[in-house]
Amino acid sequence: MTRKLFWEDMYISEFEAKVEITDGDTVILNQTAFNPRGGGLVCDTGTLGGVGVIEVTKDGDTIAHRLESRAPFGKGEPVHGVLDWERRYRVMRMHTSAHILSAVVNRETGALITGNQISPDESRVDFSLESFDKNKMSSYIDRVNEAVRRGLEVRTFFLKREEAMKLPGLVKLANATPPSLDVLRIVQIGDVDAQADGGVHVRNTREIGKVVGLRTENKGRNNRRLYFTVES
């Protein structure tokens, strides 16, 4: 089991850890600040002991780092990790924006979220909607930016599953209910949104800057995709 430093403090960009397992170019540590790929988010990149980390994945409670070359350290050795913070911070801003966007569209239309991809440069959310035009997109994006400008606090906390399921609108995901765990991590964005979520977010919506709608795409009869980015 890897201790998730990014859950304790999402602003950790450097950390010390101990090597537990190495296998060729793959390293498992006792703890890490590298957020693995999952939940629509790209993984963090950076370095471990000065060697590039190109992929981070999770398998249950274990997080594996794939290096650009064979690991030069062995079991039990200390190692210093450094995240590509510019990339990670953009992912945090994008991710919190995606939650606000999902909440706005869900509230306005009842649409569910059928997919998302959060990347540093451009992100997207898919909605179960039959129609979605440029005017609607810009009105939703305006609502998102109103929430961003209100400087809403983003809180993360843990709740027992039965308590969490009482929160209104907790599950807006069409295909994925929260995983069957006894305790869920909840991410709450002011009075706008609360979701069961394992990803990384900003502390305050003001850090997002400005959300910009880029384009929409039809992905089937009842599926609309909205692309967006964030600007300072």
SS3 state at 92: helix
Confirm if 34 and 44 have CB atoms less than 8 A apart.
yes
Residue 216: Cβ within 10 Å count:
18
Among the listed ranges 23-31, 66-74, 130-138, 191-199, the one in contact with Zn ion (CB under 5 A) is 191-199
To Zn ion, the closest distance from the beta carbon of 204 in angstroms equals 17
Helix (H) or strand (E) holding 184: strand 183-189
The angle formed by the CA atoms of residues 223, 225 and 226, to the nearest 5 degrees, is: 145
Q: By C-beta, is 81 or 99 nearer to Zn ion?
A: 99
Q: By C-beta, is 6 or 81 nearer to Zn ion?
A: 6
Out of 199, 225, 226, 230, the only residue in the binding site for Zn ion (CB under 5 A) is 199
Q: By C-beta, is 46 or 199 nearer to Zn ion?
A: 199
Q: By C-beta, is 29 or 43 nearer to Zn ion?
A: 43
Q: How far apart are CA 65 and CA 55, in angstroms?
A: 6
Q: By C-beta, is 22 or 188 nearer to Zn ion?
A: 188
Among the listed ranges 142-150, 159-167, 194-202, 220-228, the one in contact with Zn ion (CB under 5 A) is 194-202
Out of 49, 197, 216, 225, the only residue in the binding site for Zn ion (CB under 5 A) is 197
Q: By C-beta, is 120 or 199 nearer to Zn ion?
A: 199
Which pairing describes strands 31-32 and 3-4: parallel, antiparallel, or unpaired? Answer: parallel
Total residues contacting Zn ion (rule CB under 5 A)?
2
To Zn ion, the closest distance from the beta carbon of 75 in angstroms equals 34
Confirm or reject binding of residue 193 to Zn ion (CB under 5 A).
no
Query: Both tokens of residue 47?
Result: 């370095």
Among the listed ranges 62-70, 82-90, 103-111, 195-203, the one in contact with Zn ion (CB under 5 A) is 195-203
Query: Both tokens of residue 55?
Result: 């992929």
State CA 38 to chain mean position distance.
8
Residue 164: Cβ within 10 Å count:
21
To Zn ion, the closest distance from the beta carbon of 94 in angstroms equals 10
To Zn ion, the closest distance from the beta carbon of 42 in angstroms equals 13
Q: By C-beta, is 55 or 197 nearer to Zn ion?
A: 197
Q: How far apart are CA 42 and CA 33, in angstroms?
A: 14
Confirm if 124 and 116 have CB atoms less than 8 A apart.
yes
Q: How far apart are CA 24 and CA 26, in angstroms?
A: 6
Binding-site string for Zn ion from residue 141 to residue 180, where x marks contact by CB under 5 A and - marks none: ----------------------------------------
Residues of the shown chain interacting with Zn ion in the complex, contacts defined by CB under 5 A? 197, 199
